[in-house]
Chains A and B, each alone.
Chain A
Amino acid sequence: MPPRDVRGGIFFLGSRMTKMAQVAEPLLKVRGVDKHFGAVQALYGVDLDLPAGKITALCGDNGAGKSVFTKCISGVYQPDHGEVFWEGQPVHIHNTRDASRLGIETVYQDLALCDNLDIVQNMFLGRERLSRYLLDEDDMERAAAQTLASLKVTTVRSIRQPVASLSGGQRQSVAISKAVMWNSKLVIMDEPTAALGVVQTGMVLGLLKRLRDRGLAVMVISHNLNDVFEVADRVAILYLGRMVIQDDISNFDRQRVVEYMTTGGKGMKAAGN
C-alpha cells in the first residue's frame, strides 16, 4: 500500500457519497468550462469525463487549449465558468493544494525534480516525515522503495542516488512515482514521452499502464499518436478551445484523430456528406 496522506473531512464525505451513488460515475467530470485571458478566449464550454481505471489522451494542435485546460483542473488557473465534479460531488479547486487534497497530481513536462537531491528526497519534497523534529530518513526511504517496487520501477539501482545521475526515462518514472505516492486518484501528465528515446518511452508507457491497472484515472497530454494508440483507452480532442470529440479509442484511427486535431472535425463531416 502506498502511504496515506492526511485528508480533509470533505474528501471523506465525497468518497462515502460515491460509494452510495454510482460506480459508473466518472472520477472527474468537467462541464462547460470557459476560460479567457483578457480579450483572448482560451476555452469555450469544455466538457470532459475522466473515468477511474482508464487512460484518457488529451490531444490537440498547438494553441488548442490543452495546457490551459490542464491547469484549470490542477488548480493553477480558475475557470471563469463551468462546473467540476469529483466523484460526483461539485468541487472548487482554488489552488494546487486543493487539487492534491482531492487526489489530483500533475507531472509537468519539466518534471520539477531537484537534481541535487536523491530519489527519496525528491519523492518526499514538501511532505517530509519527521520523528522528534528531525527528518525520518529510514521511514521515507522504506516508503519510497515500496512505491517504486509496486510500480515496478526497478531500473534504478539505488534510491539514494541523486536525480542528476538518472536517465530521462528514469527521471520521468521518479516524477510519476512521486505523483502516485500520495494516494492520488488522478494523475495528469504533460507530454511524458516528449524528450525520451524509444526504450525509455516504452518504460514510461508501461508505467502508465500500471497506474491504470491500479484503478487510477490518468490523463495524458500528447502530440505523439504512436503513444496515444499504444496506451490510451479514451481520446479527447481539443480544437481552438472547444472539445470537439471524446470517445473510446476503438472508434478512432490515426487519420480521424489527425483530422479532428487539425480541422475540428469539419473535414470529417464534409467527407461524410
Chain B
Amino acid sequence: MAQPVEIPPDPTAAVQAAEAEVPPALIAQTLGEYARAWIGRMRGGDIGVLPVVVGLVAIMVVFEIISPNHVFLHADNLVNLFEQSAVFMVLAMAETFALILGEIDLSIGYLGACGAVIAVQLVQPVTTNWPWWAAIVAALAACALAGAIQGTIITRLGIPSFIVTLAGYLIFNGVMLILLLLGPFSGYPNLASADTNVQVLYNLMAGTIDPTISWIGMGVVVVGIGGLMWFGDARRRRAGLVAPPPSLTLLKIGLIAAAGIVVVAICNINRANIGVLAGVPWVVPIVLAVLAAWTILLERTKYGRYVYAIGGNPEAARRAGINVSLIVTIAFALCSMTAGIGVILYASYIGGMSNNVQGGQLVLFAVAAAVIGGTSLFGGRGKAMHGVLGGLVIGGIYNGMYLQSLDVQRIFIVTGLVLLAAVSIDALSRRGKVNFPGGRR
C-alpha cells in the first residue's frame, strides 16, 4: 500500500512531480534502510533514546574511572544504584502522563509522600494494623482521588496545571506533616518491626528473590516478551503491513534477553560483606510491572491514544469527539497514583517516613528523568520506558557523586545542569522540527 503506484495522467496536476517531493522513505525492508530512516528521523527532530543511552554509557565509564577503588560497577553498588533509581523511575513514569498531555504536575512528590505516609501509618501494629495490601490499596486510592481533584480543577476551571499543582505541592507538604504526626509514636512511624505484615512493606525495595527463581522468572519474561514481539511482527509482515525486518526484531529481542541476563547475573552475585545477600530485589519486578502496565495503557489502548492526541493537538482531539476533560482528569489521577507507588518504594528504601522527605526535589528529579529519557516537555511525545532510562541516569549521577563523597549542594548543581541539558536538547530538536517540516533537509 505504501509503494508508489503509477498514477494515470491527471489533467489537474503533475502528480508524479509531487512524488519527488516526498520525504525520505520511512518505509524500510532491511536493517540498513531502517538505520537510515532512523538517522533521518533524528535529523528531523525525533531524537528518541539516543542521548540517554549515550549518557548512561558516559556515566558508567566516568564514574567507574573516578570512583574510589572503582567501586561504581561493583554488584553491591549497582544493585543499590538501581534501588535508588527505582524511585526516580516510577515518579518519572508518573510525570510522563502529565508531560505527554503538555501539562506538568509539581505536586507528585508530596502527594506521593502523603500516600506513603498513609500506607506506613495503616500497617502500624499498635494502631490500625491493616494488612499490607489493604494499606497500599488505600494509599494509592487516596493519591488517585487527590490527583483527580487537581485534574478536575485544571480542566473545569481552566487553570494552568503549573499553578494548580504548585498549590498542591504546598498543600500536600502540609498534609504529609499532619499525617506523620498521627498515632501514638515518639518520632515518626517506621517500618523497622518484627511484625511480618510490616516487613512486607520494608522488603518491597530490598527484599530479595531466590537466585534460582530470579533466573526462571527472567527467562519467562524474556521468552514471553520475545515471543509476542516475534509473532506479532511476523503476522504483520505476512499481512503486508508496516513491520520491521526480522533481523531488527531479533536484534531487539536479543537486547532484551541480554539486559535480563546481565541484571539477574549482577543481582545474583553475593553482595554482603558477611553472610550471603544475593538475588534480584523485589523492586525490579515492581518497576517492570509498572512499566508494562503503563506501556500497554499508553500504546495499546484507546485511552492512551487519546492522551497522545490531546498532547499533540487538543482541538483536533475535541473535534474527533474525545472527552478531553475526562481524559486529562484521569491522567492526573493515574499520575498521582503512580507517584504513590514511587514514594511507597522510597519509604521502603529508607525504612519509614519522616519530615525529611524532599518532595520538591523528588518532583524535579522525576521531571528531569522523564525529559532526559526522551519525553518532551512540550507534549505529545513520551513513553513509560523513557522514565525508566532517565531514572537510571539520575540515579547514576546521584550514586556516583555520592561515592565521591560530594556534598549534596554539588549533586544538586550537577543534576540541575543535566536537566537543563536534557531540556535544551528537547527544545532544540523541537525547533529543528518547526524549521524543517517533514524533516527533509
State the A residues within 8 Å of B (CB): 96-97, 108, 110-117, 121, 125-128, 130, 133-135, 138, 141-142, 145-146, 148-149, 152, 154-162, 164-167, 169-170, 198-203, 205-206, 209, 230-231
> Main SS of the interface on chain B?
loop
Inter-chain contacts of B305 with A (CB < 8 A): 117, 121, 125, 128, 135
Looking at the complex, which of B217-225, B234-242, B263-271 is the stretch in contact with chain A?
Answer: B234-242
Q: Which of B5, B23, B242, B301 contacts A135 (CB 8 A)?
A: B301
In B209-254, which residues have CB < 8 Å from any A CB?
A: 235-236, 239, 241-242
A158 touches B241 (CB 8 A): no
B1 touches A149 (CB 8 A): yes
Q: Tell whether B319 is near chain A: CB-to-CB under 8 Å.
A: yes
Inter-chain contacts of A112 with B (CB < 8 A): 313, 315-316, 319-320
Q: B245 CB to closest chain A CB, in angstroms?
A: 14
A114 touches B18 (CB 8 A): no
Supplied contacts A117-B305, A158-B2, A199-B13, 6 more A-B pairs, CB within 8 Å: A97-B321, A116-B381, A117-B312, A125-B305, A160-B27, A199-B18
Q: Which residue of B lies closest to A166 (CB)?
A: B438
Cross-chain pair count, CB within 8 angstroms: 155
Question: What is the size, in residues, of chain B's interface with A at 8 Å between Cβ atoms?
Answer: 50
Inter-chain contacts of B236 with A (CB < 8 A): 138
Q: A178 CB to closest chain B CB, in angstroms?
A: 9
B302 touches A135 (CB 8 A): yes
Q: CA–CA, A60 to B381, complex, Å?
A: 41
Inter-chain contacts of B313 with A (CB < 8 A): 112-115
In B303-342, which residues have CB < 8 Å from any A CB?
A: 305, 308-309, 311-313, 315-317, 319-322
Inter-chain contacts of B10 with A (CB < 8 A): 202, 206
> Known: A158-B25, A159-B242, A202-B13. Is A116-B311 also a contact (CB below 8 A)?
yes
Q: Which of A158, A164, A169, A206 contacts B27 (CB 8 A)?
A: A158
CB pairs A–B below 8 angstroms (21 shown): A97-B321, A111-B316, A114-B317, A114-B380, A116-B308, A116-B312, A116-B381, A125-B305, A135-B305, A138-B241, A148-B1, A155-B19, A155-B21, A157-B22, A158-B25, A158-B242, A161-B23, A161-B26, A165-B44, A202-B15, A205-B13
Q: A192 CB to closest chain B CB, in angstroms?
A: 13
Inter-chain contacts of B235 with A (CB < 8 A): 138
A134 touches B301 (CB 8 A): yes
Q: Which residue of A lies closest to B13 (CB)?
A: A202
Q: Which of A146, A154, A230 contacts B12 (CB 8 A)?
A: A230
Q: Tell whether B14 is near chain A: CB-to-CB under 8 Å.
A: yes
Q: Tell whether B54 is near chain A: CB-to-CB under 8 Å.
A: no
B7 touches A152 (CB 8 A): yes
B437 touches A164 (CB 8 A): yes
Q: Mark B42-56, 1 if CB is under 8 A from A, else 0.
A: 001010000000000
B319 touches A165 (CB 8 A): no
Q: CA–CA, A133 to B303, complex, Å?
A: 10
B26 touches A167 (CB 8 A): no
B5 touches A152 (CB 8 A): yes
B301 touches A206 (CB 8 A): no
